[in-house]
Amino acid sequence: MTVNYDDIEVGNKMPVYTSEPITITHLVRYAGASGDFNPLHYDQTFAKVIGMKNVIAHGMLIMGIAGEAITSWIENKYLRKFNVRFLSMTEPADWDDMENTKDRATIIVSGEVVKKFEENGEKIIQCDIIAQDALGSKKLSGFFIAALP
Amino acid sequence: MADQSKLGFEFPVYTFTVEKEKIIEFAIAVSQKENKEQINPIYYDEEAAKKAGYQGIPVPPTFLTSSFFWTGGGLIGTANILGIDLSRLLHREEEYEYFSSIYAGDVITRKMKVVDMLKKGTGKKSVEVTVLEAELINQRGELVLKSLSRLIEI
């Protein structure tokens, strides 16, 4: 269902999007899809060599999940700008301890409309977004701008 | 430590085709699904895309960053050109400005350059910042997307 400009008010919340707990399998899939084969994202032995205790998710996977969250609400074709700052790293969940590790690997994307205006005949909204894990640690913050019907 | 003389450096221009199968693979990856039947049909079914108001199969919002990894030796090659130490590299910020839709089958030319290099802080607390700007132009000569990537070395 298309979201129209007239349906949106400043202060409206974007529907909250909750990811699956990210596992190394998701990181390998993203590595293959994106071509980002930095071993830091899937090879534990490499992570250890550079002094990290675990592999970490690609920042761009977290942004990709945020993009999926946005386009589950506002159609892709209406996006005009999408900006994020990466705030912290994300460790994947461990299959052998899923119960205790899934929260650090579950990404929750939320957002709030902060501006609404017409410019050059386009109906524009700006929505601030934030992605955090299920423990409350912030992964990225940013905003998107969309021109709506 | 990033090679400061690379400020203004323009990477070799790179042209690639936006492959339909690559879009599907990417859409599956960012939505954490197993197969294409589980993703939004606009990313694999041209009829569904047209019904949704697209002229073809569109790309997910962050798809074009991937082109960065398909060129110039990918991440490692780019880091080497810039003199960046991969083990200290962090991606700090990413921004996309969308000017027009990108569809499967489009032939995209990417022009990327180093638009800023600076050092913040002193001593052990200092970080070096490198900002890359990429312009993506389609087969009709239209600027479709501009991206800014802020990389830091800690």
Q: Say whether both B67 and B35 belong to one domain.
A: no
Q: Say whether both B34 and B89 belong to one domain.
A: no
Q: Say whether both B43 and B102 belong to one domain.
A: no
Q: Say whether both B50 and B71 belong to one domain.
A: no
Chain A, residues 2-61, CB within 8 A of chain B, namely: 19-20, 22, 26, 29-30, 32-38, 50, 59-61
Confidence (pLDDT) at A16: 98
Residues in a beta bridge with A13 = A112
Residue B71 pLDDT exceeds 90: no
ipTM for the predicted complex: 0.96
**What's the whole-number average pLDDT of chain B?**
91
Q: Say whether both B35 and B67 belong to one domain.
A: no
Q: Say whether both B80 and B149 belong to one domain.
A: yes
Provide the number of structural domains found in chain B.
2
The domains located in chain A, with CATH, are 5-148 (3.10.129.10)
Of A36, A71, A83, the CB nearest to B69: A36
Q: Say whether both B51 and B118 belong to one domain.
A: no
Confidence of residue A55 (pLDDT cuts 50, 70, 90): very high
Question: Could you report the per-residue pLDDT of A62-80, keeping only the tens digit for each?
Answer: 999 999 999 999 999 999 9
Q: Say whether both B91 and B50 belong to one domain.
A: no
Helix (H) or strand (E) holding A129: strand A122-133
Q: Say whether both B48 and B14 belong to one domain.
A: no
Best probe of the B interface among A25, A28, A34, by most B CBs < 10 A, is A34
Question: Could you report the per-residue pLDDT of B45-58, keeping only the tens digit for each?
Answer: 999 999 999 999 99
CATH number of the domain bearing residue B146: 3.10.129.10
Kindly list the residues from chain B whose CB atom is less than 8 angstroms away from the CB atom of residue A68: 30-31, 60
Residue B72 pLDDT exceeds 70: no
Owning domain of residue B34? 19-57
Residue A1 pLDDT exceeds 70: no
Confidence (pLDDT) at A38: 86
Kindly list the residues from chain A whose CB atom is less than 8 angstroms away from the CB atom of residue B25: 32-33
**Exposure pattern of A14-50 as b/e (b: 16+ CB <10 Å)?**
beebebebbbbebbebbbebbbbbbebbbeeeebeee
Q: Say whether both B10 and B51 belong to one domain.
A: no
Question: Could you report the per-residue pLDDT of B73-129, keeping only the tens digit for each?
Answer: 677 788 888 888 877 888 899 999 999 999 999 999 999 999 999 888 877 778 889
Confidence (pLDDT) at B122: 79
Instruction: Check if A78 contacts B (Cβ < 8 Å).
Output: no
Q: Say whether both B53 and B11 belong to one domain.
A: no
Q: Say whether both B87 and B145 belong to one domain.
A: yes
Confidence (pLDDT) at A42: 96
Confidence (pLDDT) at A118: 96
Which residues lie below 8 Å from residue B134, measured CB to CB, with a gap of 6+? B67, B68, B110, B111, B112, B146, B147, B149
